[in-house]
Structure 1
Amino acid sequence: MSKVPANEDFYKVHLLNEWSWKLTTPLDAQPHTIDGNHIFEVIFEGNNTDTVCANDGHVELKFAISAMEQRNPRMPRLKFVRGLSTQFEFAMASLHTNFIRGRFGLQLLFVSNESVIPGEDFRLESLFSINDEVTPGIFEMVNIKLGERDNSTTSTLKSHSNTPQSSWPTGFIQARPVCYTSERYREVKASRDAKLSKQRTVLNTSDQELLLPRTLPYLFYAQRIKPTDDPHEVVGMRLQNISFGTPGDGYYAHSSFIVWTISFGFGEPPIDTLSPLLIGLITLSAVVVLGSLLFGTMLILIFQRRYRFGEFQRLTETDTTSAVST
């Protein structure tokens, strides 16, 4: 996370890399292989000696992976890409804030193997659907495509091999704009907004040198993660801010708990399709509407026909046999 000036009175940054972390997943519960629809999870719990954790407060990080394409049974029920995506769940429990109307946010560093030159940004798209069966009350899905750029027409990665640029795997980040204030009851009445900022900022050089060492991207990308004179040689990095809370929700102190889930992986982000139940309901609604229109049209035609016959009077026998005088 980026540093905040020392005289800042409106918010305070807690660097999670300075906290103490422990693995809380039972070791005997970790399978050597992931078979069938089993979801493998690793859970870490962190806290520190600051006042933010004074009341047994802690932050929980949960990583989950699946060997088959399926949905996570927990809300917001994001979809796993078979062996290629990981779901990251971030929970804040019993944290203490010195502000009367305090909220907590999160700042993440997104890293891509493809460079992001100044003026470019990862592409963010919001998809809306009429289907909220998977996540009740939520009709939006946010996708960040790490292999595509906003404000750019061409990719600028210089490969260090003879491999074509298109062979580099693209990455995605997917989330629904919702968090929950209850771990057990993740439903509409316990849901709050989780907004991802539309624009991402650049991690400055001093913070790169301070925060990136001893991180997985630093070990994986080696020299490519260090600042150089050529921006095309450095991996793409952007800071993403996420805010939690809905106006009128009583702020964080009302629930003292927030849990939020995000998915990241290789390839294209999963697409939510209409379920058979929703397709059936739409079809039934269309049949009812068309049937009502057809029935109404038939009634109008019948009434018009009766009215037309009512304009003519039947001739009597005297009218048909009366003599004509000459």
Structure 2
Amino acid sequence: MQYNPGWNNSSVNLLHVRAVGPGDTLHYVWSSIGAPTVLLVATESRSSALCVNWTQLLSPAPAGAIWIDPPSSVVYSAAVVFTKVFEYSEAKTLEELFYPTYDLSDFSWDSINHTLNHTALTAEFTGIPATDPSGSFSNGSLAFRVTAYEASGRDGPLPSLLHTANSSKVEFVLAGVAPRGNSSRFVLEVATVEETGVVQKLRSARSIDDEYTPTIFEMLSLVAESQNDSSTLSFLQWKATAYGSQTPRREDSIQCRSRSLQAANWTLPMSSIVHAYFGEGVGSTYTISAINISFGGEDGKVYQEKRYLSWSALLGFGQPPKDTFSPLIISIMAVALGTPMVMLLVGSCVVLFAQRKRYSEYEPIN
């Protein structure tokens, strides 16, 4: 993990995570310059490196300030941008009342230097609005917690996401932020940037196995597929739940809903690292899609009571991890399906034995 590589200043945040494989390298570039963003770049070289022209990056025209060397080694690149947070509540007329939007490109972000943990491979981007007329953030903050992985495994805390070495986790956290309504709910807008020839699809998978995430049976994945061969290039994956506690339990679950994926008809912040890497082609050469993910129960009281919200998602390259039935569920299914078969078999044997015994009581005629 590299913090602000080539720049001896903590006034801005850029975190580079580099994973080297047998014949390739995966680059994750996280930054709060502009809206919080992560670049995902896959190369077919073990020695590919991130290059940053800091003077250009922090200028009003950052296009071309970030690149991978050698450029010819890049085989795939994309970006995920966390653009806005909406807050709304339902009036008695069942109409949704929206409050002024929190534009994350207008936030002031703390230095991640003091949260960077090279052993645990974690960091935290924490911010508040540059201007806060309502005072909602006077005792609160918004954060994105980032975790990189060295091997496959499963997270301990809920929602206990299954991960691989080709993936990283991002956790969106609202802590102590005062809601502006009596039954406020929050919506996180997530945008993706993809190259021409790549299409985003939203998938939903349901399972009867909820051992690792109790009462949650749905997994959602936003996958980038090549239009040429339908291969999956990258993904953003999450369980259909958020939590209202720093140490989440089943009873802390907060309802999480995903709206439909749509083509974005707006532009990303010019100061974002998306423009620094992709250049001026964002929106023409590269396509932008967006999805809204909402949090809160029917009455919105869960956050009102706890003033804490945490939502976790996994992102990475290739196919998203797929949960299989746990040993416990397999055992339960084996017992549930096997017991009737055993009873049927035993019953059949008893009937056959009884019939055979009855016929054997007769004496032969001769």
Do both share a fold (TM > 0.5)?
yes
Report the count of equivalent residues: 272
Counterpart for residue 172 of structure 1: 235
* Alignment map for 1:129-208 (pairs within 5 Å): 129-147=207-225, 155=227, 170-184=233-247, 186-197=248-259, 199-204=260-265, 207-208=266-267
Structure with higher helix content: 1
SS at match of 1:220: helix
Q: What is the CA–CA distance in structure 2 between the aligned matches of 1:252 and 1:178, rounded to whole Å?
A: 13
* Equivalent pair of 1:112/1:171 in contact (CA under 8 Å): no
Deviation at 1:294, TM superposition (A): 1.6
If you compute each CA radius of gyration, which structure gives the higher value, 1 or 2?
Answer: 1
Q: What is the CA–CA distance in structure 1 between the aligned matches of 2:359 and 2:181, rounded to whole Å?
A: 79
Counterpart for residue 15 of structure 1: 103
Report whether the alignment pairs 1:106 with 2:188. Answer: yes
TM-score (norm 1): 0.73
Residue 106 and residue 128 in structure 1: after superposition, are their counterparts in 2 closer, same or farther (change >3 A)? Answer: same
Aligned residue among 123, 126, 129 for 1:42 = 123
Residue 189 and residue 221 in structure 1: after superposition, are their counterparts in 2 closer, same or farther (change >3 A)? Answer: same
Report whether the alignment pairs 1:30 with 2:153. Answer: no
Q: After superposing the two structures, state which structure 1 stretch, 283-292 or 239-248, moved more.
A: 283-292
Deviation at 1:143, TM superposition (A): 1.4
What are structure 1's unaligned runs of at least 5 residues?
32-37, 149-154, 156-164, 229-233, 315-326
Q: What is the CA–CA distance in structure 2 between the aligned matches of 1:30 and 1:282, rounded to whole Å?
A: 42
What are structure 2's unaligned runs of at least 5 residues?
1-82, 87-94
TM-score (norm 2): 0.65
Q: What is the CA–CA distance in structure 1 between the aligned matches of 2:113 and 2:241, rounded to whole Å?
A: 26
Counterpart for residue 222 of structure 1: 279
SS at match of 2:316: strand
Residue 70 and residue 53 in structure 1: after superposition, are their counterparts in 2 closer, same or farther (change >3 A)? Answer: same
Kindly, what percent of the aligned residue pairs are identical? 24
CA RMSD in angstroms, aligned pairs only:
3.2
1:236-285 Cα offsets, whole Å, 9 max, x none, are 21111001122256242122111001111111111112233433333343
Counterpart for residue 323 of structure 1: none
Report whether the alignment pairs 1:76 with 2:159. Answer: yes
* Paired AA for residue 22 in structure 1: D
Q: What is the CA–CA distance in structure 1 between the aligned matches of 2:348 and 2:215, rounded to whole Å?
A: 37
Residue 110 and residue 72 in structure 1: after superposition, are their counterparts in 2 closer, same or farther (change >3 A)? Answer: same
Structure with higher strand content: 2
Q: What is the CA–CA distance in structure 2 between the aligned matches of 1:261 and 1:280, rounded to whole Å?
A: 29
* Paired AA for residue 174 in structure 1: Q
* Equivalent pair of 1:41/1:65 in contact (CA under 8 Å): yes
* Equivalent pair of 2:244/2:302 in contact (CA under 8 Å): no
Aligned residue among 275, 289, 308 for 2:326 = 275
SS at match of 1:272: coil
* Alignment map for 1:240-279 (pairs within 5 Å): 240-248=291-299, 250-279=301-330
Q: After superposing the two structures, state which structure 1 stretch, 263-272 or 289-298, moved more.
A: 289-298
Q: What is the CA–CA distance in structure 1 between the aligned matches of 2:187 and 2:347, rounded to whole Å?
A: 56
SS at match of 1:218: helix
* Paired AA for residue 124 in structure 1: L
* Equivalent pair of 2:243/2:310 in contact (CA under 8 Å): yes
SS at match of 2:304: helix
* Equivalent pair of 1:47/1:53 in contact (CA under 8 Å): no
1:206-263 Cα offsets, whole Å, 9 max, x none, are x41xx421212221111321x44xxxxx212111100112225624212211100111
Residue 115 and residue 56 in structure 1: after superposition, are their counterparts in 2 closer, same or farther (change >3 A)? Answer: farther
Deviation at 1:180, TM superposition (A): 0.5
